[in-house]
Amino acid sequence: MTVENKVIISAALTGAMTPKDINENIPLTPEEIASDAYACWQAGAAVVHLHMRDDNGIGTMDPAKFKETIRLIRAHEDCDVVINCTTSGDNRATDAQRMEHVATLDGIEMASYDAGSFNWMPGGVFTNSPKFLGELGQVLMNRGIKPEIEIFDSGMLGVAGYFMKEGKLSIPGHYQFCLGVLGGMPATVENLLYLKSKLPAGSTWSAFGIGKDHLPIMYAALALGGNIRVGLEDNVYFSKGVKATNLQLVERAADAIRLFGKEPASPAQAREILGIKPLAR
């Protein structure tokens, strides 16, 4: 299988906080999330990034919600999308609760690994302690789950490098540059170029910008040879004042990739690029 000229689209379907009051298209239930996952896969997304919501629409790390959503996605026998689950979907959760699903559930192929703590303005501190990161990396390696190393600021590259040297984070790494969060690095092309220049040899990477910075970072990532992430977790508008759907954001990303002269990667191609074992049914 050739993976040259292929770009991975990751669809981040719902975050931990944004309510339907802001955009009624945000999926909240396992049924809604799985439905969007299937539609986005059909439109060209190779990876779906999953957060869960409780019955009040608030982020939760409930393993039962993850399990049901994965079951519903895989109930589509034709759907081979890569399943990527968050480990930071509820700021009330303990470290153990943040890892329970990746430690116990089948079907999770990737998981977020947020490589450091920072002030997520204006709400509070996004905490990822060294102890938690060491334990999480070990769990992911033991279970054969690919870490998605989320980088909100440049110092986090050093944190990830430390755990790689300690043998507690798998190599080569796949990095997700998360730009535009207040408290992290602003979403500029200059910052993306800098982060890319500091990656270890053999790494793969993807990027996204929050809100209005979504499109500049998407196009810059394409120009710099990276992969891209889109979805209502990061950006709820298709254009100024026009609410988006996950499907619309994936379709636009796929069109942009083709206009750029490349092709959206299939899930099988994404697994090859990322070093994930083929899907077992």
- pLDDT tens digits for range 133-175: 999 999 999 999 999 999 999 999 999 999 999 999 999 999 9
pLDDT at 1: 67
Mean pLDDT of 205-210: 98
Residue 45 lies in a domain: yes
Percent of the chain with pLDDT over 70: 99
The CATH number linked to 58 is: 3.20.20.70
Number of structural domains (the chain) is 1
Q: Are the C-beta atoms of 251 and 36 separated by less than 8 Å?
A: no
Q: Which residues, in sequence order, are bridge partners of residue 46?
A: none
Domain extent, residue 187, equals 6-274
pLDDT at site 26: 98
Task: Name the percent of the chain lying above pLDDT 90.
Answer: 98
DSSP letter (8 states) at residue 24: T
If DSSP codes are grouped into helix, strand and coil, which group holds residue 72? helix
Asked if the structure places residue 211 within a domain, the reply is: yes
Mutual angle of helices 246-259 and 30-43, in 10-degree steps: 20
Domain contains 280: no
Q: Does residue 85 belong to any structural domain of this protein?
A: yes
Round to whole Å and give the CA distance between 281 and 80.
9
More confident residue, 234 or 4: 234
**φ, ψ at 246 (rounded to 5°):** -60, -40
Least Cα distance to 57 among 88, 26, 78 occurs for: 26
Task: State the pLDDT at residue 280.
Answer: 84
- Whether residue 134 lies inside any domain: the answer is yes
> For the segment 55-97, what is each residue's pLDDT rounded down to a tens digit?
999 999 999 999 999 999 999 999 999 999 999 999 999 999 9
In a domain, 279, yes or no: no
Is 107 inside any structural domain? yes
- Buried b / exposed e across 119-141, counting CB within 10 Å, b at 16+? ebeeeeebebeeebbebbbbbbe
- Tell me, yes or no, whether 236 lies in a domain: yes
